[in-house]
Amino acid sequence: MRKLLIMTLLFVTTLMYAAPKYGGTLVFGRSADSISLDPSHATDGESFYGSTQVYDTLVQFKLGTTEIEPALATSWDISEDGLTYIFHLRKDVYFHSTKFFKKKVQFTANDVLFSLNRQFKEDHPFFKVGGSYKYWGFMDMSKIVKSIEKTDLYTVKITLNKKEAPFLANMAMDFASILSKDYAFSLLKDGKENRLSRYPVGTGPFVFQKWVKDDKIIYFANKDYWNGKPYLKKLILKVIPNASVRAAELKVGSIHVMDFPNPEEIAKLDADKNIKLIKQEGLNVGYLAMNIHKVPAFKDVRVRRAINYAINKEAIVDAIYAGFGKVTDSPLPPTMWGYNKNIKHYEYNPEKAKKLLAEAGYSDLKFDLWAMPVVRPYMPNARKVAEAMQADLAKVGVTTKIVSYDWGTYLDKGRKLEHDAVLLGWTGDNGDPDNFLSVLLSEHAATIPVSNRAAWKNREFSDLVAKAKTTTDIAERTRLYEEAQVIFADQAPWVTIANSIVVEAVRSNVMNFKLSPMGKRVFEKVWFDK
C-alpha cells in the first residue's frame, strides 16, 4: 500500500512538473515594429525586443529578476577601489553562421573591445556608423570609462575614471550587447556597414532569419547556444498595431503571446480557459515632459506647477489605465529602492493653476502636446491621455494642439527637442534608481540627442544623483536619491502620470514565459506543453 501511494505521488508530481518539450513556432503579437536591430543605437523597447533574441551581454539579469548572473563573462573581479573590472570570458562560444555571414567565428575579447570601443573612441572606424550611440551618451559612459583593454584573448579589463555603483548592472543592458568584430569589418570592407542595424549576427539564443518591415521578424533556434538549445524551433515577432485585433488573434491561436492588451479587455481574456494572464507591477513611469529649452513659459516654475495642478491625474488613470496603474508624483516607481513617498504631491486644483498662470503672466498659454502613436507598458493609450489633458488644460485657459508622428520619427524629433510638451515614459533597464534619475533628468542628458526630454538643468539635482553613484552604501544612496526627488517635485519639469501594472496575455499551453522587470521579452526557456 505504501509503495502504491509513493508511486501515485510520483506520477502526480510528474504530471504537475512535466519536462519541457522541444519544437514548435511561437508567434509574439506586439504593437509596433523595431526601429533598429543594433542595440547600441536603439533606445526603444520594440527595437530591444528584436535585438535581445540575437545578442548576449557580458553579464545578464536572471530571468524575471534584477539579479546579475554570468553570461558571456563566466566571472569577474572588481578592484578594492572599485575602479577596475576584469571580466573572464566564456570559451567555445561561436557567433551565428547565417546567410549574411557564413563563417564560423569564435567569440573572444576582440569582440568585446569592438562592441564597447566603437561607442567610446571617437577615432574608431565604427564611431560614426549608424548615427550617435544614444544610450552610451544617456548613461554618461564616456566620463565613467577610462579604458577598455584585453589582457589576453579571453580576459577584458575595464578601468573607470570614478566609482560607479551601477556599473555591473549597466553591462547587462542592451546597449552593451556584444557584436562580432569580424562580421562588422566584413561589412565595412564591402561598404555595407549600415547593415549592422538590419541583419544582426550575435551569439544569442535565436538566429535572425528575416525582417519584413512593419510585419514580422523571423528567428530560428540557435542549436549550439552556450546556455542550452532553446526549446522553441522558431520564433516570430508579429506586428499587430491594434490591441483588439491582437486579442482576437490570441483567442483563435494565431498568436501565442500578446503584448499590452487593452486594460478594458483584460477581464474577458482572463475568462477564456485557453488564455492565462501574467501580471507584474512595472518598473516604469509615464509622464508629460515640458520642454524648457523651446517654450519660454516653461522656464517659469510657476507655469510648470500650474500645469501639474491643472491635470486631473486620478481621472486619467481611472479611465485609461482601468485599474492597471497608480498615480505617481515621483520619477521613480514605488517598487524601486530609493523611492521617496513623502515628496510634494500635485492634487487636481484648477483654481490654483489659474492663479499661478496669472502670477506668471501666462493666462493665454498655447503649446503643442505630443502623443505617442504606440502602446507602451507605462501608457496604454497616449492619445486618450493627451485628449484628457487637453480638456483639463482648456479649463484653466491653456490651449493645446495634439501632435503625433510614426514611432521612429516621434522618438527622433523628441531627442532633438522639437516638441513643446511630450508624452513618454520609461521602463528601468538595470534595476537601479540611477537609470531613471540620471538618464532622464540630469544635466548631461539634456544635450542633443537628449534623453532628458524636459531639457531641465538643475545643478543641485544632478550633483546629488552623481554623488549617489560613487558609493555602494545603499542607505547613503537612498538618502541622496530621496533628496533629489524633493527637488524634482518642487521644480516640476514633468507632469508625472502613473506607474503601471504590466499584463501579458498568453495561450495556456505556453510554458515558462516570464515578465522581466526591465521590460525585456525573453523566449529562450519558453516551451509548448502540447
pLDDT at 530: 77
Q: Evaluate whether 326 touches 398 at the Cβ level (below 8 Å).
A: no
Q: Name 191's Cβ contacts closer than 8 Å, sequence gap at least 6.
A: none
Residue 5 has pLDDT above 80, yes or no: no
Residue 324 predicted with pLDDT over 70? yes
Please give the Cα distance from 411 to 323 (Å, whole number).
Answer: 28
Residue 421 dihedral angles phi and psi, to the nearest 5°: -140, 135
Instruction: Please state, in angstroms and rounded to a whole number, the distance separating the CA atoms of residues 424 and 412.
Output: 13
Rg (C-alpha) for the chain, rounded Å, is: 24
17 pLDDT band, cuts 50/70/90, is low
% pLDDT > 70, the chain: 97
User: pLDDT of 120-145, one tens digit each?
Assistant: 999 999 999 999 999 999 999 999 99
Give tens-digit pLDDT for 449-486: 999 999 999 999 999 999 999 999 999 999 999 999 99
pLDDT band for 13, please (50, 70, 90 cuts): very low
What stretch of H or E contains 489?
Answer: helix 474-491
Domain ranges of the chain: 25-239+508-528, 284-500
Is the pLDDT at 12 greater than 90? The verdict is no
Is residue 386 pLDDT above 90, yes or no?
Answer: yes
For 338-465, list the strands marked E by DSSP.
Answer: 366-370, 399-403, 421-427
What's the grid cell of residue 393?
488644460
Predicted local confidence at residue 391, as pLDDT = 98
CB 47 within 8 A of CB 37: yes
Cell for 231?
A: 526549446
Determine the average pLDDT of the residues in 376-393: 96
CB-side exposure of 481: number of CA atoms within 13 Å?
A: 28
Same fold for the pair 25-239+508-528 and 284-500: no
Would you state the cell numbers that stand for residue 353, as one nine-digit string? 493653476
- For residue 352, what is the DSSP state? H
The pLDDT score that the predictor gives to residue 100 is 85
Residue 133 corresponds to which amino acid?
Y
pLDDT mean over 177-192: 95
Percentages helix, strand, coil for the chain (3-state, rounded to 5) are: 35, 20, 45
Alpha helix segments (H runs only) across 106-225: 109-120, 134-138, 141-144, 167-170, 181-189
Under CATH, what is the fold of the domain 25-239+508-528? Dipeptide-binding Protein; domain 1 (3.90.76)
Helices (H), 378-449: 382-394, 407-415, 434-441
> For residue 150, what pLDDT is reported?
97
Architecture of domain 284-500: Roll (3.10)
For the stretch 220-268, pLDDT in tens is 999 999 999 999 999 999 999 999 999 999 999 999 999 999 999 999 9
Average pLDDT on 137-154 reads 96
- Neighbouring C-beta atoms of residue 265, cutoff 10 Å: 17
pLDDT band at 214 (very low <50, low <70, confident <90, very high): very high
* Number of Cβ atoms within 10 Å of the Cβ of 164: 22
Chain-centroid distance, C-alpha 110: 27
